[in-house]
Amino acid sequence: MFVEIKNMNSISSSSSSSYSSSTKVMNKPLSQSSLFSLRYYNCNCNCNNISSSSIPFHSNFPPNNIRLAVVSSSRLPLKCASSSTNFSDPTPNHSSHPTKPVKQSFLSILDILKNSNSLLPPAIVSSTLLALIFPPSLTWFTTRYFAPALGFLMFAVGVNSSEKDFIEAFNRPAEIATGYFGQFVVKPLLGYLFYIIAVTVFGLPTGIGAGMVLVACVSGAQLSNYATFLTDPEMAPLSIVMTSLSTASAVFVTPLLLLLLIGKRLPIDVKGMVFSITQIVVVPIAVGLLLNRFFPPICNAIRPFLPPLSVLTAAICAGAPLALNVECIKSPLGISILLLVVAFHLSAFIAGYMLSGSVFRDSPDVKPLQRTISFETGMQSSLLALALANKFFEDPVVGMPPAISVNSQF
C-alpha cells in the first residue's frame, strides 16, 4: 500500500478545483480486476512512520487540513510521504553512510570480547588436552606465575565491582556462615571419607589418603570467585568475602583439622599466609575498585578485553599443573587418584549445592546462592595443598592428589 499526505494549505486556489474534480474521479472504485483501489480520508494525525496496521480503513477521522490518500494494494507495501515533493524511501541506504558498517563491526567485536567468558569450559578442555598431548607447551608456567595470574583474575573482578557490593556482602552473615560451614566441616568430612575409600577399597598407600585429606582441609580457591563472577556477577563480592575469610582462618584451622583427622602436626606460618592473601586477593581487588571509582574512562576502555584475557589465564592455570605432573598422572596409580579426586570434588559441589538449598530455600535468590556456595565448597586452593605437601610431608605421594586436584576441579 502507498500513502501520501498532502497539506491542503499548500495547494493554491487555482488548483483547488482541478484537485477537487480529480478527487471525484479517484474516489470512484476501480474495476475488481485492477491492482489498485484509491480512497481518501480526512486525518488530523502527523505522519512520521505510519504502518499499515495503524490506519483503519473506512474510519471517520476528524476534519482537518491534512488529507490522507490511501492506495490499497495486495502486492505493494504501505509507505508514508510528507507534503514535500521529494519522496523518501524508508529503506536505509547503507551506501550513503559508509562509516556505519565499520561502526557496527567494531561494536560486534566488542560484544564478542565481552561475552567471551562463555568460552571458559572449552578453553579448560583445550588446555587439559594440550597438557596431556604436548606437555612442553605449558610446563613453562611454573608455580611462581600462579600468584600473579590469580591476582589478575581478582583485578578483573574488582574492575567490575564496587565497594557497595562488598558492603552488601558483609550484610549477609547467614550466607557467609553457611559457606564457611561447608568449607571447613562438610569438606573435611568428605576428605576423610575418601581417605578411607582410597586406603581400604582401592588399596592405595596411606600417603594418597593423607593427600586427599590435605586437599579437603585447605581454604577455598580464588578461582571460585571468578567462576561465580561468570555465572552470577552479583554474587562475586559474597564469594570473595567467603574465600578471603576461609583463607585467613586456614592459618589456624587447616593445621587443627590435619591433626584431628590424620594426626599430622603442621607449623603455622601466619606471616606467610597473610602476605599471600594480601598479594593475591586484597591488593588486586582494591586496585580494581579504585580504578572503577576514580577513573571510569580507563575501566570502560579495558573492560571489554578483560574477559578473554581472564579465560586464557584461567585455562593456563588449569593446564600447567597437569603438564608438570603428566607422567605421574598417566601411570596406573595416577589414574586411580584421578578418579578419587574427581569424585571428591563432584561430591563437594553437590554437598554445597544441597546444603545452601535446604538452608535458604525461601530466599528469592536461592539459585544464584546455591551456585556460589557450591563453587566455594567444591573448589579448593590445591596449590596451597601442594605446597604444604612438598614442604611438610616426607612421603612424595602425598603431593599427587593436590597436583591432580588443581586441574580436576574445573
The model's pLDDT over 194-230, given as tens digits with 9 standing for 90+, comes to: 999 999 998 999 989 999 999 999 888 877 887 888 7
| Alpha helices (runs of H) in 80-186, residue ranges in sequence order | 100-114, 120-133, 146-159, 163-170, 173-181
The DSSP string of 165-228 is HHHHHHT-HHHHHHHHHIIIIIHHHHHHHHHHIIIIIS---HHHHHHHHHHHHSPBPTHHHHHH
Q: Note the pLDDT of residue 189.
A: 95
Share of the chain above pLDDT 70, in %: 69
Is the per-residue pLDDT at 10 higher than 50? Answer: no
Instruction: Flag the least confident range among 36-50, 131-145, 259-273, 289-303.
Output: 36-50
45-85 residue pLDDT tens: 444 444 444 444 444 444 444 444 444 444 444 444 444 44
Q: Note the pLDDT of residue 305.
A: 86
Q: C-alpha distances in angstroms, 390 versus 383, 402, 403?
A: 11, 10, 11
Comparing 107 with 383, the larger pLDDT belongs to 383
* Grid cell listed for 297: 574512562
Q: Note the pLDDT of residue 112.
A: 56
Instruction: Flag the least confident range among 120-134, 255-269, 359-373.
Output: 255-269
CATH 1.20.1530.20 fits 116-408, yes or no: yes
CA dihedral 81, 82, 84, 87 (to 10 degrees): -20
Mean pLDDT of 163-173: 85
- What pTM does this model have? 0.62
Cβ neighbours of 191 (radius 10 Å) = 27
Mean pLDDT of 22-41: 43
The contacts of residue 12 (CB under 8 Å, 6+ apart) are: none
360-391 residue pLDDT tens: 998 888 999 999 999 999 998 887 787 788 77
* Grid cell listed for 133: 598431548
Q: What is the mean pLDDT of the chain?
A: 74
The contacts of residue 264 (CB under 8 Å, 6+ apart) are: 210, 258, 392, 393
Give start-end residues of each CATH 1.20.1530.20 domain in the chain.
116-408
At residue 94 the predicted structure's pLDDT band, cuts being 50, 70 and 90, is very low
Cα 312 from Cα 120, distance rounded (Å):
8
The contacts of residue 359 (CB under 8 Å, 6+ apart) are: 174, 178
The number of CA neighbours under 13 Å toward the Cβ of 61 is 19
Q: Is 6 helix (H, G, I), strand (E, B) or coil?
A: strand
- Angle, helices 236-262 vs 223-231, to 10°: value is 140
In the 8-state DSSP scheme, what is residue 380?
B
At residue 41 the predicted structure's pLDDT band, cuts being 50, 70 and 90, is very low
Nearest residue to 352 (alpha-carbon basis) of 319, 329, 383, 375: 375
Antiparallel, parallel or unpaired: β 79-81 and 2-7: parallel
